[in-house]
């Protein structure tokens, strides 16, 4: 949810970065994953091309219903074995519907893993804006996906709320949230891992 910290200037309009990241945060809440909820918004210019959140392919099952309390089976790396990532869902839906993806921007609540980064690069998405760090979430030394994308010329930025705006966002991990943190609060990121 976006909050303003002071009354907006007359006729002030929110930035599209704030609007699209707020939508990604809300989409993450649609995820049936009991381990992490991630949302993504794929845009071109000021228009939404597609949206996505993490979970199994449509029409298969919902992890929180079929595997309550434990989640779906894990692969050899400890990741969900049945789920598509939010970026994958947004990109696949856009491609399925014939949307022009090249040059697009994707807003995602968790920075891309290396597999999603390869897909983003292959689809010629020009810009990635993320809220939380995948490396911090997974407890690994670097954001491999971010490093890969930057190495090959994709613009990748960590989301920063606009002036006077606070984005209330839960970390990507599910479970009871005892304290809402803002996107500008550094200690929020350390609670992810």
List, by residue number, the catalytic residues. Answer: 87
User: Are the CB atoms for 59 and 84 separated by under 8 Å?
Assistant: no
Cα–Cα distance, 54 to 32 (Å, whole number)? 8
């Amino acid at each position: 949810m976006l909050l303003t910290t002071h009354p907006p200037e007359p006729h002030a309009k929110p930035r599209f970065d704030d609007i699209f990241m707020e939508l990604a945060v809300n989409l993450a809440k649609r995820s049936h994953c009991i381990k992490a909820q991630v949302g993504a918004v794929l845009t071109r210019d000021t228009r939404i091309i597609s949206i996505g959140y993490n979970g199994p392919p449509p029409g298969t099952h919902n992890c929180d219903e079929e595997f309550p309390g434990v989640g779906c089976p894990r692969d050899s790396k400890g990741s969900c074995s049945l789920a598509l990532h939010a970026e994958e869902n947004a990109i696949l839906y856009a491609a399925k519907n014939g949307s022009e993806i090249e040059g697009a921007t994707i807003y995602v609540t968790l920075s891309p893993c290396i597999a999603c980064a390869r897909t983003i690069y292959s689809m010629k998405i020009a810009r990635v804006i993320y809220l939380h760090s995948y490396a911090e979430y997974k407890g690994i030394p670097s954001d491999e996906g971010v490093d890969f994308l930057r190495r090959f010329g994709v613009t990748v930025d960590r989301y920063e709320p606009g002036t006077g705006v606070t984005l209330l966002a839960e970390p990507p991990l599910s479970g009871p949230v005892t304290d809402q943190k803002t996107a500008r609060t550094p200690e929020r990121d350390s609670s992810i891992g």
